Amino acid sequence: MARRIKPIKQHTFESSNFDTFERDNTMTESTRLRIAIQKSGRLSTESQQLLKSCGVKFTINEQRLIAHSDNMPIDLLRVRDDDIPGLVMDGVVDMGIIGENVLEEEQIERQTLNKPADCLKLRQLDFGSCRLSLAVPKEFSYKDPSSLEGLRIATSYPNLLRRFMQEKSITYRDCLLKGSVEVAPRAGLADGICDLVSSGATLEANGLYETEVIYRSMACIIQSTQTQTPAKQALIDKILSRVNGVIRARESKYILLHAPTETLAQIVALLPGAENPTVLPLNDDTNRVAIHAVSTEDLFWDTMEQLTALGASSILVMPIEKMMG
């Protein structure tokens, strides 16, 4: 059931005064930002870690479905991942962290049922990478999706499957399973499956092979389309800006090395995604300089070897904890 966020009194929640409210944990329930995350499963640890990296302090009590942040007016609702898109779309929570696959599936479902299906996808995250694929038993001779014409397909994603099959004009029958989809063909419940794949180990273990990727997914962070108070919106913006900083830092490396001045330009050109590196003189050595650079990509071993071949030495590649600006 949709629930409107109550307006809040400006004097208790000044958007311009974040330093104060980060320490102030006395907001009433309606003024606190509610974020839904998966209680336990593939996304739960990384969702919690991401929020902690953004400076949100909280302690999870496994028995409790709600965790109150100690330093910010934020409550974490720990729920099944399937419930997260609906909670955000109905405005019951303000934000959620969810797989794009579950979000898209719920969106199609709700559009079909004429239920609220809108939310804002704030950004894709850097975890929860998987794909929704069709797979069939090893002995099945598969040419293209039409090989499944008239057959039964087991899935937990009936809407994404239907959209794909409609685009290919293929008729099929579905068998809805909430879990253990991979065992359906062997159990005689279906001819093929449409399920999530990451390493492919589960398909392999069940004598299946992947034939078609129908949807590629990552985790994402979403926001309700309900109008927020300026202060609450400012907190959402702040979380998003920190998420951006955390992900940029995780994707970047700090590189230090010594380089001969004569190959400096070639060495800088080899550093992946590094803009305007700092070049510093070395004590008592006019033929070599120190380079400090932030690279937006990892520095691979073969690039390290090419750098060494150009005379680079003392190469250090270090992780970055935080980034801003």
Ligand X SMILES: O=P(O)(O)OC[C@H]1O[C@H](OP(=O)(O)OP(=O)(O)O)[C@H](O)[C@@H]1O
Ligand Y SMILES: Nc1ncnc2c1ncn2[C@@H]1O[C@H](COP(=O)(O)OP(=O)(O)OP(=O)(O)O)[C@@H](O)[C@H]1O
Residues found near ligand X in the complex (CB under 6 A): 42, 179, 182, 195-202
- Is there binding between residue 104 and ligand Y (CB under 6 A)? no
Q: In what order do the strands lie in the sheet with 33-38?
A: 66-68, 74-79, 33-38, 95-99, 219-223, 120-124
Nearest to 155 by CA among 199, 187, 192: 192
Q: Tell me the closest approach of the beta carbon of residue 66 to ligand Y, in angstroms.
A: 16
First-to-last C-alpha distance (Å) of the chain: 40
Given candidates 128, 145, 192, 277, which one binds ligand Y under the rule CB under 6 A?
Answer: 128
Number of residues counted as binding ligand Y (CB under 6 A): 16
Dihedrals phi, psi of 177, to nearest 5 degrees: -130, 140
- From the CB of 135, what's the least distance to ligand X, in Å? 10
Measured in degrees and rounded to the nearest 5, phi and psi for residue 215 equal: -160, 130
Q: Does 43 bind ligand Y (CB under 6 A)?
A: yes
Pick the closer one to ligand X by CB: 132 or 255: 132
Residue in 88, 165, 196, 236 binding ligand Y, rule: CB under 6 A: 196
Single out the residue of 12, 18, 42, 292 in contact with ligand Y (rule: CB under 6 A). 42
Residue in 2, 6, 23, 41 binding ligand Y, rule: CB under 6 A: 41
101: contact with ligand Y by CB under 6 A: yes
Distance in angstroms (rounded) separating the CA atoms of residues 185 and 207: 9
Is 102 a binding residue for ligand Y by CB under 6 A? The answer is: yes
* Residue 319: both structure tokens together: 């992780």
Name the residue nearer to ligand X (CB basis): 177 or 235.
Answer: 177
Residue 195 interacts with, from Mg ion, ligand Y, ligand X, none (CB under 5-8 Å by kind): ligand X
Q: Which does 200 bind (CB under 5 to 8 A by kind): Mg ion, ligand Y, ligand X, none?
A: ligand X
Measured from the CB atom, the residue of 82 and 174 that comes closer to Mg ion is 82
Specify the residue, 155 or 223, whose C-beta has the smaller distance to ligand X: 155
Instruction: Give the C-alpha separation, 119 to 235, whole Å.
Output: 17
Task: For residue 130, state whether it binds ligand Y (rule: CB under 6 A).
Answer: yes
Give me the count of residues in the chain: 325
Does residue 288 belong to the site contacting ligand Y (CB under 6 A)? no
Residue showing tokens 């510093």:
280
Query: Which listed residue (8, 21, 31, 38) binds ligand Y by CB under 6 A?
Result: 38
- Whichever of 82 and 109 has its CB closer to Mg ion, that residue is 82
Q: Which of ligand X, ligand Y, Mg ion, none does residue 201 bind to, with CB < 5 to 8 Å depending on kind? A: ligand X
Contact call for residues 289 and 264 (beta carbons, < 8 A): yes
The answer to whether residue 217 forms part of the interface with ligand Y (CB under 6 A) is yes
Buried b (16+ CB within 10 A) or exposed e, 73-89: bbbbbbbebebbbbbbb
- Given the rule CB under 6 A, which of 51-59, 79-87, 229-237, 245-253 is the region that contacts ligand Y? 79-87
Output 130 or 312, the one with its CB closest to Mg ion: 130
Structural Rg of the chain based on CA atoms: 25
DSSP letter at 243 equals: H
3-state secondary structure of 45: helix
Written as one letter, the residue type at 118 is D
Which among 40-48, 61-69, 180-188, 206-214 is the span making contact with ligand Y, rule CB under 6 A?
40-48
- In sequence order, what are the residues at sequence separation of 6 or more whose Cβ sits closer than 8 angstroms to the Cβ of residue 117? 89, 106, 107, 110, 111
Amino acid at 309: A
> What residues line the site for Mg ion (CB under 5 A)?
81-82
CB 107 within 8 A of CB 66: no
Separation of alpha carbons 99 and 101, rounded Å: 5
Binding positions for ligand Y, rule: CB under 6 A: 38, 41-43, 80-82, 99, 101-102, 128-130, 196, 198, 217
